[in-house]
């Protein structure tokens, strides 16, 4: 009802319950909307029924609380089944995280190895250029004018 309420412009159940307890929205929607008034009336009737049912019982007995406690302890002692939904979700989340991390590491390694190969190629090219420049006899040509001054 909540999604349909939001789409149709009606109040959600949470907003009606908030209004029931005096903390809900005060936009005047209930004054004009018969559907929301009917839902509010139904919730008020349920609240009254619950209050009268609890008012008839003066208190909760010790035996009731002890039985409730035993039931809780019994459920806590039961082993968790591997196929339980919460366990499956945790395992699935762990597997998904491992896949994402390993994929990221693989892509980083591939990118890094390509970058290193490119750097090696650039270093080899630089070495070839320096070797070619050194093998040329350009040193003798550049020092001839200076040597001519001393002769």
d(CA 118, CA 122): 6
The mean predicted confidence, pLDDT, of the chain is 81
Q: What is the pLDDT of residue 89?
A: 82
Site of tokens 């908030």: 18
**Is residue 39 a contact partner of residue 16, using CB atoms and an 8 Å limit?**
yes
Handedness of CA 9, 48, 51, 54 (dihedral sign): negative
The model's pLDDT over 118-142, given as tens digits with 9 standing for 90+, comes to 888 888 888 888 888 777 655 556 6
Query: Can you give the pLDDT at residue 56?
Result: 64
What pLDDT shows up at residue 55? 67
CA distance 114 to 145: 48
Domain ranges of the chain: 1-49, 84-135
Span 41-63, average pLDDT:
78
Sole residue written with tokens 């109040």: 11
**Two tokens at 118?**
């490119």
Mean pLDDT for 78-103 is 83
pLDDT of residue 7: 58
Taking 60 as the threshold, does the pLDDT of residue 5 lie above it? no
Distance CA 84, CA 92 (A): 12
| Burial (CB count within 10 angstroms: exposed 0-12, middle 13-18, buried 19+), residue 11 | buried
pTM metric for this prediction: 0.35
CB burial readout 22-41, b (16+ within 10 A) else e: eebeeeebbeebeebeebbe
- The alpha helices in 1-151, defined as continuous H runs, are 2-8, 13-20, 29-32, 34-56, 62-77, 85-135, 138-150
């Amino acid at each position: 009802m909540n999604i349909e309420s939001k789409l149709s412009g009606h109040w959600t159940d949470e907003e009606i319950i908030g209004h029931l307890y005096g903390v809900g929205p005060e936009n005047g929607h209930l004054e004009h909307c018969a559907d929301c008034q009917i839902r509010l009336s139904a919730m008020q009737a349920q609240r009254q029924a619950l209050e009268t049912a609890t008012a008839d019982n003066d208190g909760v007995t010790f035996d009731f609380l002890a039985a409730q406690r035993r039931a809780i302890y019994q459920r806590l002692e039961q082993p968790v089944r591997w196929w339980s939904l919460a366990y499956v979700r945790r395992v699935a989340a762990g597997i998904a995280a491992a896949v994402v991390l390993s994929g990221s590491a693989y892509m980083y390694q591939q990118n890094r190895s390509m970058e290193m190969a490119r750097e090696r190629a650039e270093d080899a090219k630089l070495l070839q250029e320096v070797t070619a420049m050194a093998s040329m006899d350009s040193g003798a040509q550049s020092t001839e004018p200076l040597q001519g001054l001393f002769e």
